[in-house]
A and B are shown apart, each in its own frame.
Chain A
Amino acid sequence: MSVALQVRGLVKEFPGRRRGSVRVLDRLDFEVAASEFVCVVGVSGSGKSTLLSLVAGLLPLTAGRLELDGVPITGPGPDRGLVLQAPSLYPWRTVERNIAFGLELLGLSRAERRARVAWYLGVMGLEPLARSLPRQLSGGQRQRAAIARALACEPRLLLLDEPFGSLDVQTKEDMQVFLRTVWDRTRTTVIMVTHDVEEAVFLAQRVLVLASDPGRVAAEIPVHLPTDRTLEIKRDPRFLQLRSRVEDMVRAQHRNHLAATTATT
């Protein structure tokens, strides 16, 4: 297994409200292997979204090393695709033209773009909606289109920031199964941030639990569950045990976070 993302002593500080600075991430160390699926869970304030923004290159880091395939990350680029919770499709572009956006920038020929877009429309089950505008789609369809758009650029890393956070429970489960399938087919390295522990355990090969105030890696928990996961597995005792273990950790962090924030205010 080759290392795709390497994080060493990563520190992120934001300027304080009046003076000084607030440390959001404190000396993070972890690695993500190529083709791995890693979920990052943590309470609000653990800096999990900040971590993703740093990997995406949208924020400068304060200290430490952040390398993709041995090359330091200095800014955003198409080798790290990003999907957010907030709808971020181009509202004036149809689904197929949304997916084609990155390909247009690369100057691909129309035929080449069509072929690639058609493939991702197929994988994502979006063919009937190819000519629809984002506002005509449901929440789940929008997120599928957003994932397709990111994947079309064939990124080394797919970064997902609570992509199913605003979906209803049934759609969310559909999307989870769907995302596993897509990952199985494309073997893109995925880092997904979520506050939903069940989701994390269901999807990931490894769950990273972040501690808060400031954010640190509290635990790395490997998920030894079958690769072909269906929703049935959520009732499996092994699944439930793992889920409880991660939940207990997150709850403990939440209590610490409450104690810390009440003490300072």
Chain B
Amino acid sequence: MTQEGRAISAVPREVTRSAATERPERAFDELPRRTRALRPSRLWSIREEVPAAVRRTLIALGVVAPLLVWWALAASRTVDPVFLPAPLDVLRAGRELLASGQLGADALASLTRVAFGFGLAVAVSVPLGLLIGSFSAGEALLEPLLALLRYLPASAFIPLLLIWLGIGEPSKVGLLFIGTVFFNTLMTADVVRLVPRELIQVSYTLGATRHEVLRKVIFPHALPGMIDAMRVNAAAAWNFVVVAELVASTSGLGYRIVRAQRFLQTDQIFAVLVVIGLIGLAIDLGFRRLRNGVAGWAS
């Protein structure tokens, strides 16, 4: 008690003495100073919200302006319509494709291929990612090879796939698989590695076996990240399916583009491109909803 009392009473004396009699010690020249404070900004404040009205206007501008430029370029006839068809022509071409049933059939064919190829990649990459992310042994065994294979361009496998699997469906599904499985495995492994070590250790002290830790701790913790990885790689799969259909194909959105090119129907190519973009967007939204649905705790 007394010891503490002394320590406390000693403090103010020291402070008053240094403030009254001693100049602060100075070892350097005066520091140059910025005299102006940061000026407030409405549009350029980093990581700050802009007003809702401004935000809506910007969104509209970002979508409408490019469309207007496209329309103006086409209407002015400065560019040959074979190179750049007018927006309305594209819309008409799209409607015709839709009415003939070709567009629906092509979209369905492409989506089915993605479902099989990418589905297979997910089925393989999730267990592999769990293995690599959870066990050093798995990491040592698999990661070096996968990290290398990831850099081999999937499209370079097309000739090989045609030789191995023929020109039918298997070679297209195979391309989607090769194009996404390595990335999805390594990205899954990354989110699995993010599961805190403390969480795993505490689970052991609650009586969990390694198997239970994998199933009841690591998997649920990594699930939102795994769905995010799938969302990114589904976009890649959607790209690859069009590439796959450009070669030796009789259906699909990629095939439709090649066919339209043969007859210089650029309006059809544009219409198919728009559809590819819209379906891609829908896939993306679907994965977002899935993530919020099964893993709302992480958002």
- Contact residues of A with B, CB < 8 Å? 56-58, 75-78, 80-84, 86, 88, 90-92, 101-102, 105-106, 133, 135, 146, 149-150, 153, 155, 159, 237, 240, 244
Contacts and interface: CB of A to CB of B under 8 A. Distances in A.
A80 B202 CA distance: 10
B298 A90 contact: no
Contacts of A105: 206-208, 212
A80 B205 contact: yes
B196 A82 contact: no
A153 B205 CA distance: 9
Nearest to A81: B205
A97 to B, nearest CB: 11
B205 A92 contact: no
Interface string B191-228: 00000101101111111100010001100110000000
Nearest to A136: B297
Contacts of A86: 196, 198
B1 interface: yes
Given A78-B205, A92-B220, A102-B206, 18 more contacts: A56-B205, A57-B204, A58-B201, A77-B204, A78-B206, A82-B201, A82-B205, A86-B196, A88-B202, A90-B220, A90-B221, A91-B297, A92-B298, A101-B216, A149-B206, A153-B206, A237-B1, A240-B4
B206 A58 contact: no
Given A84-B198, A92-B295, A244-B3, A58 B204 contact: yes
A77 B207 contact: yes
A153 B204 CA distance: 12
Contacts of A149: 206
Task: Say which size band chain B's interface belongs to.
Answer: 20 to 34
Nearest to A76: B204
Nearest to A235: B1
B298 A102 contact: no
Contacts of B212: 105
Nearest to A80: B205
Contact of A106 (B203, B207, B220): B207
Given A91-B221, A92-B220, A237-B1, A150 B198 contact: no
A150 B198 CA distance: 14
